[in-house]
């Protein structure tokens, strides 16, 4: 007997990266920040604020939106905040797409997009990435559909330029174009500066990666007033108090702490370059990444086996079973020591006969 309604019974849910509790791993599998939240966020959450959890939070999230607006040089009316950027993606597919307003996105990208489409019965088309895993901008011109592109893309770490985004926006004026900037702070120009020019642009971002608040669940969107009002409408029709009081405070403190943000961001970029070099020295093919992860493969072993070998040694990375990328691993950039340990472990595995192919025997 299934109590779930019939229309959802065959639906496939999104599978988040594992969060195992069985032992302590070096966790390089869900693109969290290895650095703690801003010390200012810690200060903002004190005993009195915990006591005030008896009260509902501000549904308009006014102060937080004010701070985000200031940081990005837009008006508060151009900012929407929600319970993680997944929540905003959810609202987008629910409220902005349907059978007629279909969606297009790359075949290799954030795995949640097709899940939302299936949940809401939104028709979608997956556009194959080019052979080098880049997004071919020509494929998105005049598509007569809402466009969703992660920039940098996940799990490849590859980017498209603002000029390319402009071309897509211009050729699809009557459709919304969502740019998912979860990883933008690790080395790409943000499309938020185009929001004033294009009312069909929706930039979605998160505090989960570059601002070390994945557990706080906080995402934001920057877009034209029209699009923001649309998102508000959906939010007020589902869960107006979707961001809790403590997260509102932590988020505001984090977005105002530019210095700490910059320090963490730089360290991750440096460590990413170190990791790329060391993996390449060991024969890995590493896709040049502008995110807080690298996407890499070794010809002599399939991705699934290497993932398991690393897991046995206490290092968790992410492996995807999709045909085109099944030989790759997505490795989150952790602290320098963690990445040194990863490299050391790869060297140990390479000494085990037959493990990483002939060149190691
Ligand atoms: C991590 C990630 C998200 C989700 O972020 P949350 O704010 O934690 O919900 C959205 N899009 C992409 C591409 C991501 O990698």
CATH for 60: 3.40.640.10
The reply to whether 327 falls in a domain is yes
Q: Are strands 328-332 and 293-297 parallel, antiparallel or unpaired?
A: antiparallel
Average pLDDT on 272-291 reads: 98
Nearest to 183 by CA among 165, 147, 159: 159
Residue 360 has pLDDT above 50, yes or no: no
Domain of residue 285 covers 6-30+259-350
Measure the CA–CA gap between 133 and 157, rounded to whole angstroms: 9
Span between the terminal Cα atoms of the chain, in Å = 55
pLDDT for residue 14 is more than 80: yes
Among the candidates 201, 233, 256, a domain finishes at 256
The answer to whether residues 250 and 274 belong to one domain is no
Q: How far is the CA of 110 from the centre of ligand 1 (A)?
A: 8
Cα(127) to centroid(ligand 1), Å: 21
Please report whether residue 68 resides in a domain.
yes
- Residue from 348, 306, 351 nearest 329 by CA: 306
Separation between Cα atoms, residue 227 and residue 87, nearest integer Å: 15
In the 3-class helix/strand/coil scheme, how is 19-61 assigned residue by residue? CCCCCCCEECCCCCCCCCCCHHHHHHCCHHHHHHHHCCCCCCC
Distances 161 to 128, 148, 288, 321 between C-alpha atoms, Å: 18, 15, 15, 29
Handedness of CA 352, 353, 354, 356 (dihedral sign): positive
Question: Is residue 361, in this structure, part of any structural domain at all?
Answer: no
In angstroms, the CA 313 to CA 330 distance is 17
Decide whether any atom of ligand 1 lies within 6 Å of the 94 Cβ.
Answer: no
Position with higher pLDDT, 1 vs 334: 334
In a shared domain, residues 299 and 322: yes
Same domain, 26 and 44: no
Is 149 touching ligand 1 by the criterion CB < 6 Å? no
Gyration radius (Cα) of the chain, Å: 21
Q: Is 188 in the pocket of ligand 1 (CB under 6 A)?
A: no
Domain final residue pick, 227, 256, 285: 256
Centre of ligand 1 from the C-alpha of residue 121, in Å: 22
Ligand 1 midpoint to CA 200 (Å) = 21
In a domain, 359, yes or no: no
Atom of ligand 1 nearest to the CA of 207: 7
pLDDT band at 359; cut points 50, 70, 90: very low
Is 152 a pocket residue for ligand 1 (Cβ < 6 Å)? no
Give pLDDT tens digits for 177-189: 999 999 999 999 9
Place of tokens 């791993």: 25
> Strand 177-180 to strand 201-206: parallel, antiparallel, or no bridges (unpaired)?
parallel
What are the tens digits of pLDDT across the range 120-153? 999 999 999 999 999 999 999 999 999 999 999 9
Q: Is residue 247 part of a domain?
A: yes
Instruction: Give the domain CATH number at 18.
Output: 3.90.1150.10
| Residue 296 CB less than 6 A away from ligand 1 | no
Residue 217 forms part of a structural domain: yes
Q: Which of 182, 207, 292 has most ligand 1 atoms within 8 Å of CB, for mutation?
A: 182
**Which ligand 1 atom is nearest residue 219's CA?**
7
Ligand 1 geometric centre to CA of 338 (Å): 23
Using the mean position of ligand 1's atoms as its centre, give its distance from the Cα of residue 236 in Å.
22
- 281 lies in the same domain as 142: no
Domain boundary among 201, 223, 256: 256
The H-assigned helical ranges of the chain are: 6-9, 39-44, 47-51, 62-72, 85-96, 112-120, 162-171, 225-236, 245-256, 258-281, 303-312, 336-351
- 208 CB within 6 A, ligand 1: yes
Structural domains of the chain, count = 2
**249 and 311 in one domain?**
no
> Percentage of the chain with pLDDT > 90?
90
∠ Cα 96 61 16 (to 5°)? 55
CA distance 82 to 222: 12
Same domain, 305 and 215: no
pLDDT at residue number 139: 98
Same domain, 239 and 304: no
Return all residues near 349 (Cβ < 8 A) that are at least 6 apart.
306, 309, 310, 313, 355, 356
DSSP letter, residue 134: -
Ligand 1 centroid distance, CA of 73 (Å): 23
- For residue 236, the tally of other CB atoms under 10 A from its CB is 11
Mutate to test the pocket of ligand 1, among 37, 148, 206 (most ligand atoms within 8 A of CB): 206
Over the chain, what is the mean pLDDT?
A: 95
- 232 in a domain, yes or no? yes
- Give the sign of the dihedral formed by CA 129, CA 130, CA 133, CA 138: negative
For the chain, percent of residues with pLDDT exceeding 70:
97
* Same domain? 135 vs 249: yes
Closest ligand 1 atom, CA of 208? 8
- Confirm whether 133 is domain-assigned: yes
Atom of ligand 1 nearest to the CA of 214: 8
Q: pLDDT at residue 356 above 70?
A: no
Strands, DSSP E only, in 70-190? 79-82, 103-106, 124-127, 146-150, 177-180
What is the spatial distance between Cα 33 and Cα 37, in angstroms, rounded to a whole number? 9
Task: List Cβ neighbours of 321 (8 Å cut-off, separation of 6 or more).
Answer: 304
């Amino acid at each position: 007997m299934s109590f779930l309604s019939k229309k959802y019974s065959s639906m496939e849910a999104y599978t988040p990266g594992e969060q195992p509790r069985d032992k302590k791993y070096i966790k390089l599998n869900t693109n969290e920040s290895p650095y703690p939240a801003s010390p200012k966020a810690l200060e903002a959450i004190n005993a009195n604020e915990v006591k005030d959890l008896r009260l509902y939070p501000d549904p308009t999230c006014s102060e937080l939106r004010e701070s985000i607006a200031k940081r990005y040089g837009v008006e508060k009316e151009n900012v929407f905040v929600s319970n993680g950027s997944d929540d905003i993606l959810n609202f987008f597919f629910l409220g902005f797409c349907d059978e007629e307003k279909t969606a297009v996105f790359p075949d290799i990208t954030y795995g949640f997009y097709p899940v939302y489409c299936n949940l809401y019965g939104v028709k979608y088309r997956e556009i194959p990435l080019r052979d080098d895993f880049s997004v071919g901008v020509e494929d998105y011109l005049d598509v007569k559909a809402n466009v969703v592109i992660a920039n940098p893309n996940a799990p490849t770490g590859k980017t498209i330029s603002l000029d390319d985004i402009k071309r897509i926006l211009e050729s699809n004026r009557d459709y919304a174009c969502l740019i998912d900037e979860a990883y933008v702070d690790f080395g790409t120009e943000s499309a938020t500066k185009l929001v004033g020019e294009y009312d069909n642009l929706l930039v979605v971002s998160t505090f989960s990666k570059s601002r070390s608040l994945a557990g706080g669940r906080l995402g934001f969107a920057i877009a034209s007033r029209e699009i923001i009002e649309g998102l508000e409408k959906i939010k007020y029709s589902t869960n107006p108090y979707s961001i809790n009081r403590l997260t509102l405070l932590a988020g505001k403190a984090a977005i105002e702490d530019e210095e700490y943000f910059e320090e963490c961001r730089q360290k991750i970029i440096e460590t990413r370059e170190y990791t790329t070099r060391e993996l390449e020295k060991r024969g890995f093919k590493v896709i040049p990444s502008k995110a807080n992860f690298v996407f890499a493969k070794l010809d002599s072993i399939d991705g699934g086996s290497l993932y398991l070998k690393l897991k046995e040694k206490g290092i968790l990375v992410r492996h995807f079973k999709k045909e085109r990328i099944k030989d790759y691993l997505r490795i989150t950039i952790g602290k320098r020591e963690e990445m040194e340990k990863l490299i050391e472990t790869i060297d140990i595995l390479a000494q085990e006969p037959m493990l990483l192919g002939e060149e190691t025997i």
